[in-house]
Amino acid sequence: MTLRRVTVLGATGSIGTSTLDVLGRHPERYRVHALTAHRSREPLLAQCRRHRPAVAVLDAEEDAAWLRGQLAEAGLATEVRAGREALVEVAEAREVDAVMAAIVGAAGLLPTLAAVKAGKRVLLANKEALVMSGALFMDAVTRHGATLLPIDSEHNAIYQCLPVEHRGGLGRHGVTQLLLTASGGPFRGWSRDALGRVTPDQACDHPNWSMGRKISVDSATLMNKGLELIEACWLFDARPDQVQVVVHPQSVIHSMAAYSDGSVIAQLGNPDMRTPIAYGLAWPERIDAGVEALDLFRVARLDFEPADEAAFPCLRLAREAMAAGGTAPAVLNAANEVAVEAFLAGRLGFTEIDELVARVRDESPVAPAADLETILEADVLARRSAHAWLARQ
């Protein structure tokens, strides 16, 4: 059995900790090469003690210096680095076989793209990388021979429901539609007026999944599902009209693919991210993920309903951004990141999140996403516009 070395980008987040849980169950298969975190130095220290990586990366040098001292006291030889260049280096390192890309937001784009260009197996949990630079990203996957495995539960489910070779347009493979399931979040069925009184703690209290605060808010606004729609179009070579969002409160069916012969193939499982993580790590094999087997008798029923885009306009905004193309998805993502940060800080109301995103979208010209510099510039300008809108409120 070949030993694979893994870098985990965003190790202290929910996806990162779940990844380390799966890796720890299979020490004969995997070794941790590098762990990275933004500012969570204490959790990263605990992970270094447990998994003994060759390298650890933090964003700020002051945090890296603290971690260096703590690891030296513990007698551990982990090298500690700081900054964006270090993130790229551990993503593309020659020793690394697989990279878990789990940094939340636009910050994950450069190291994830570096892993792709180095021809790694990339476990993509950072949807923003594809949202911002879909065409460039997928072209790099093909050009550099990287293996791209989606880790979002919905995209991982679709990946399992499609033929191994699914590029070239869905119609070539008899696929008529991708059915992207959504739990509906904590506010399913709420009116627009009621949503105006939502607090950050309420928005982060997801009924089915344990996630970080930013992605929990995105799930509550349905922006997460909008970003997933854009991601699905790039991953599976689909048009926006070929992706339908289906609200499924039980979160047991993770997504489906409909075929021209009338078949609908679905992937089911308990809502636990260790399942898609284990699938991505071991593909095309299957390994134990530590996840309880699905008990259909306990589930008993499966419900479905359409998404309420009147109450939750973020889904429509994302679909429109994908249809507009170019830098529009990058602008959408940047404005949303600023809006969510402001909401969590108590500076913005819940229903003002989509209002801010729409305003920034309307103020931002769409340019062809011809190169990474253009995409990153659109991201910066959209954030500047979003902050200016907040300052006027």
Query: Is 377 annotated among the ligand-binding residues?
Result: no
Query: Is 19 annotated among the ligand-binding residues?
Result: no
Query: Is 39 annotated among the ligand-binding residues?
Result: yes
Report the DSSP beta bridge partners of residue 178: 243, 257
Query: Is 95 annotated among the ligand-binding residues?
Result: no
Query: Is 272 annotated among the ligand-binding residues?
Result: no
Query: Is 174 annotated among the ligand-binding residues?
Result: no
What are the angstrom distances between the C-alpha of 312 and each of 219, 281, 309, 318? Answer: 10, 34, 5, 11
Query: Is 14 annotated among the ligand-binding residues?
Result: yes
Query: Is 305 annotated among the ligand-binding residues?
Result: no
Report the DSSP beta bridge partners of residue 148: 122
Strands of 253-259's sheet, edge to edge? 264-268, 253-259, 175-182, 243-247, 305-306
Query: Is 152 annotated among the ligand-binding residues?
Result: yes
Query: Is 371 annotated among the ligand-binding residues?
Result: no
Q: What's phi and psi for 186, nearest 5 deg? A: -75, -10
Query: Is 12 annotated among the ligand-binding residues?
Result: yes
Q: For residue 184, what are its two tokens?
A: 């509906």
Question: For residue 56, which of 69, 127, 125 has the smallest C-alpha distance?
Answer: 69
Query: Is 40 annotated among the ligand-binding residues?
Result: no
What are the angstrom distances between the C-alpha of 107 and each of 87, 176, 316, 370, 390? Answer: 10, 34, 25, 20, 22
Query: Is 214 annotated among the ligand-binding residues?
Result: no
Q: What's phi and psi for 55, nearest 5 deg? A: -135, 145
Rounded Cα–Cα distance for residues 128 and 105 (Å) = 6
Does residue 284 have a cis peptide bond before it, meaning omega lies within 30 degrees of 0?
Answer: yes
Query: Is 224 annotated among the ligand-binding residues?
Result: yes
Where does residue 363 rank: exposed (0-12), middle (13-18), buried (19+ CB within 10 A)?
A: middle
Query: Is 158 annotated among the ligand-binding residues?
Result: no
Query: Is 127 annotated among the ligand-binding residues?
Result: yes
Span between the terminal Cα atoms of the chain, in Å: 59
Query: Is 219 annotated among the ligand-binding residues?
Result: yes
Report the DSSP beta bridge partners of residue 177: 258
Q: For the residues of 211-222, what is the DSSP string, one character each?
A: --HHHHHHHHHT
Query: Is 13 annotated among the ligand-binding residues?
Result: yes
**Which parts are annotated binding residues for NADPH?**
12-15, 39, 126, 128, 212
Return binding residues for Mn(2+). 152, 154, 228
Binding residues: 12-15, 39, 126-128, 152-154, 183, 206, 212, 219, 224-225, 228
Task: State the binding site for 1-deoxy-D-xylulose 5-phosphate.
Answer: 127, 153-154, 183, 206, 219, 224-225, 228
